[in-house]
Amino acid sequence: MFEDFADARVDAGEARLRVRHGGRALHDPETVHAMCEDYRAGLGVDRAADDADRAAGRRIGCPLLVLWAARDDMEDLYGDVLAIWRDWAGDVRGGPIESGHHMAEEAPERLAAELRAFLGPGSPGTPPV
């Protein structure tokens, strides 16, 4: 995580946000434990469940919105993010949001607009048109 602070792709505002929010979280042992458990699950129990679903031929049957931070490493690590999800679902939409790792904090208006567009008019929480 701390390598991110020195990442040339991270602007000063994002660096301050990471220090302010991440730094505070890293001083709470319960938060650190929960963060580690989340990563551990992704490599263990979550992966085993994904493998079992794939072996059984299970796929996501509803429309799927996939959004990721443009200034994070998702595309560097995985290449075509939407293509990966198309292996799991037939109706995959989405793309990158111009932000760093913390999309909701760094680009809340853009994220909200993408969610409203995906959910459509009349969806719970969307204002009437």
Interval 71-129: pLDDT, tens: 999 999 999 999 999 999 999 999 999 999 889 889 999 999 999 999 987 665 555 54
Same domain, 49 and 80: no
Q: ∠ CA(46), CA(42), CA(31), 5° rounding?
A: 120
Q: pLDDT > 90: what percent of the chain? A: 49
E strand map for 6-99: 64-69, 92-97
Tokens for 106, please give them: 């760094």
DSSP single-letter state for residue 21: I
Same domain, 4 and 47: yes
- Cβ atoms of 40 and 32 closer than 8 Å: no
This prediction's pTM: 0.68
Same domain, 22 and 77: no
Same domain, 72 and 54: no
Structural domain including 104 reads 60-129
